[in-house]
């Protein structure tokens, strides 16, 4: 993607971030000559309609907002065939998550300053009937000048004054989820303020108000438990700070701040008690039902009050109320008290029967993804064992099964990139590395296969190339002493056999031949055998020594890295060995030496003899002639020049 120009306008410079479904790049706007951020939907999600719809939703939601504390969207587009992108302002700074990881507890002034700026952004969103639904430190950016920006409106939802969002599963991050989101109930602006309250709690104390071993455990605590007072964790905090956090974290949305502006105003008053802040508009009272609007044209007679009539009405109402109260009291006394049974782990139908048998009513509080099978009860309120009157309602949280994700196609990608994607998808994985002709680190296969829907509990198995197998080669021991050779082969866990004495022109005590041959792969070998020079044969003492280079051309049909071997034998019983790794067409010069009037040299390529032996002759009188050449080796051996050395008997 780097170097590509999107929409004939945005030049992608480098990647600066990664999310679960998108990549973020730094880019240059060629029209306005400015640096921007470009968020690009990952290719594996480009064909998923739900994901593309959410991606477009983020662009529409953020583009409709104009606020200093909302990351501004400049443009949105699509490059054929499947590159979806959003162009945004580039924020130089860090996320609040990064800041808290480095410094978990912030000063009151810094925490409230961040909080009031987030509240200002939410106030702008709520004014446009947008609920963010995922306020958390990862979605709060802090620029270098300390300006706070809210980003990622990917699951924001448009509402009207009477229409809210209802969902069967959690949307958002469970640690920052409001109780109504955890129940799968209606969400509103107050849901965002609850999440902001959790963020404030974390900034001020260095911990979350609710923690647990699993997502469902945390969600149930949001539903059932009261958040601790921040002063129990950080006693130096003021009562005013404690009240702001406690009100934001109220279980009932009606008990929370009724607007982000009201919450922001309280934070600003703590930061600057003398600030002259404008009054916050009160929440609008609901209108009475249609047909019950009060009349604006009452007559004076209608305004007159008859005292006797009033007392009659009051008395009548009092009698009815008292009577109903006495009846309800005796009915309550007669209603049996039962203990709430433990239905956790039961299927919904079985839980209904068990609760009905106790005279209790059932209400579904919501659904949550979990490791438990779909339809199984995860939690109940009141808690099991709680004594209640028959007829009371028990709320149940039901498992909707594990969260499922669509597995992308990882084949052909590098392991580094794939691990980044798996981490973003919150999936586990294991890696098996095998030898392959493919480059090292390339994913060869995956299980489950691409595009399958899998639970988040699934472990993805990846087979990764570790590159071609490079065999261990046998070292060239020719010319070494046996002790030197033993040290060399010990590095490859090989033993040295007992050397075999061989007549040779090489110095006494040096190795002249070996098995396995030099430069060959060591497979299934545990011991190396060598031939050790015992000097020239006794017959050599009465003969003249001859030397000459013998040229040889490697056939073009030979393979690369072929092992070339030449063996010189003379009539006196001496042997010389020569080894070299060669390539097709290469010229090789064999240093031949022997005693007596004649000798021969035999050539081998990868252990196979190449033609008949080549005769070598020396005329009497000391002038060394050209080596003889057999008919089928004329193309390989060329004329050589040699010397004859006379040895005294």
- Phi, psi of 414, rounded to the nearest 5 degrees: -80, 150
> What is the b/e burial string over 213-250, where b = at least 16 CB atoms within 10 angstroms of the residue's CB?
eebbebbbbbbbeebbebbeebeebeeebbebbbbbbb
| Residue 496, token pair as written in the block | 């040295």
Query: For residues 105 and 204, is the Cβ–Cβ distance under 8 A?
Result: yes
Euclidean distance between CA atoms 327 and 312, whole angstroms: 23
CA 480 from centre of chain = 53
Q: What gap in Å lies between CA 586 and CA 121, rounded to an integer?
A: 75
d(CA 28, CA 34): 6
- For 332, other C-beta atoms within 10 Å of its C-beta total 9
> In angstroms, rounded to a whole number, what is the distance separating the alpha carbons of residues 176 and 476?
68
Q: Which of 120, 123, 134, 531 is catalytic?
A: 134
Q: Provide CB contacts within 8 A for 330, sequence distance 6+.
A: none
- 134 catalytic? Reply is yes
99 in Cβ contact with 138 (< 8 Å): no
Which of 199, 271, 211 minimizes the C-alpha distance to 241?
Answer: 271
DSSP 165: B
Token pair of 136 as six digits: 């958390």
Q: Which residue in this structure is represented by tokens 């106790």? A: 358
3-state class (DSSP) for residue 612: coil
The strand pair at 459-465 and 428-434 is best described as parallel
Are 185 and 366 within 8 A, CB to CB?
yes
Using CA atoms of 143, 149, 155, 158 in order, give the dihedral in degrees to the nearest 10. Answer: -160
Catalytic residues, which ones? 134
């Amino acid at each position: 993607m780097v170097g590509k120009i999107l929409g004939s306008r945005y030049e992608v410079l480098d990647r600066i971030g990664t999310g679960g479904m998108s990549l973020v790049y730094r880019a240059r706007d060629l029209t306005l000559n400015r640096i921007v951020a470009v968020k690009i939907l990952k290719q594996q999600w480009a064909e998923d309609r739900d994901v593309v719809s959410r991606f477009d939703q983020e662009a529409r939601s953020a583009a409709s907002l104009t606020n200093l504390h909302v990351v501004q969207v400049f443009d949105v587009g699509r490059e054929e065939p499947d590159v979806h992108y959003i162009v945004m302002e580039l924020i130089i700074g860090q996320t609040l998550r990064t800041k808290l990881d480095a410094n978990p507890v912030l000063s009151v002034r810094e925490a409230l300053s961040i909080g009031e700026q987030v509240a200002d952004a939410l106030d702008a969103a709520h004014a446009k009937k947008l609920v963010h639904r995922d306020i958390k430190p990862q979605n709060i950016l802090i620029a270098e000048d300390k300006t706070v920006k809210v980003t990622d409106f990917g699951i924001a939802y448009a509402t009207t004054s009477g229409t809210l969002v209802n969902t069967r599963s959690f949307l958002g991050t469970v640690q920052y989820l409001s109780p109504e989101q955890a129940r799968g109930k209606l969400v509103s602006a107050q849901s965002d303020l609850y999440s902001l309250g959790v963020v404030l709690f974390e900034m001020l104390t260095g911990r979350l108000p609710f923690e647990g071993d699993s997502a469902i455990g945390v969600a149930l605590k949001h539903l059932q438990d009261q958040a601790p007072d921040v002063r129990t964790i950080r006693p130096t905090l003021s009562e005013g700070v404690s009240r702001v956090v406690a009100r934001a974290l109220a279980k009932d949305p009606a008990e929370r701040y009724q607007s982000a502006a009201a919450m922001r105003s309280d934070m600003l008053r703590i930061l600057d008690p003398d600030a002259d802040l404008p009054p916050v508009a009160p929440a609008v009272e609901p209108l009475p039902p249609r047909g019950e609007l009060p009349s604006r044209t009452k007559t004076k007679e209608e305004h007159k009050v008859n005292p006797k009539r009033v007392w009659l009405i009051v008395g009548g109402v009092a009698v009815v109320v008292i009577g109903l109260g006495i009846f309800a009291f005796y009915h309550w006394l007669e209603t049996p008290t039962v203990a709430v049974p433990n239905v956790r782990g039961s299927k919904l139908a079985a839980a209904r029967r068990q609760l009905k048998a106790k005279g209790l009513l059932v209400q579904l509080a919501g659904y949550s993804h979990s490791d438990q099978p779909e339809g199984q009860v995860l939690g109940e309120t009141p808690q099991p064992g709680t004594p209640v009157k028959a007829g009371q309602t028990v709320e149940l949280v039901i498992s909707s099964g594990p969260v499922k994700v669509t597995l992308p196609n990882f084949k052909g990608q590098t392991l580094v990139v794939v691990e980044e994607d798996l981490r973003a998808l919150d999936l586990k994985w294991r890696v098996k590395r095998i030898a392959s002709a493919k480059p090292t680190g390339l994913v060869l296969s995956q299980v489950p296969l691409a595009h399958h829907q899998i639970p988040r509990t699934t472990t993805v198995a990846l087979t990764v190339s570790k590159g071609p197998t490079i065999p261990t080669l046998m070292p060239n021991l020719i010319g070494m002493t046996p002790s030197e050779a033993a040290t060399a082969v010990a590095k490859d866990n090989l033993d040295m056999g007992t050397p075999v004495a061989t007549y040779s022109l090489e110095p006494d005590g040096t190795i002249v031949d070996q098995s396995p041959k030099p430069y060959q792969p060591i497979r299934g070998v545990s011991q190396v055998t060598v031939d050790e020079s015992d000097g020239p044969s006794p017959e050599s003492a009465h003969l003249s020594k001859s030397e000459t280079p013998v040229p040889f051309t490697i056939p073009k049909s030979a393979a690369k890295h072929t092992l070339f071997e030449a063996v010189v034998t003379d009539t006196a019983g001496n042997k010389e060995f020569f080894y070299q790794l060669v390539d097709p067409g290469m010229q090789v010069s064999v240093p031949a030496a022997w005693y007596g009037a004649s000798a021969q040299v035999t050539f081998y390529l990868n252990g196979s003899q190449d033609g008949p032996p080549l005769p070598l002759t020396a005329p009497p009188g000391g002038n060394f002639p050209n080596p003889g050449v057999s008919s089928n080796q004329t193309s390989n051996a060329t004329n050589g020049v040699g010397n004859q050395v006379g040895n005294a008997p």
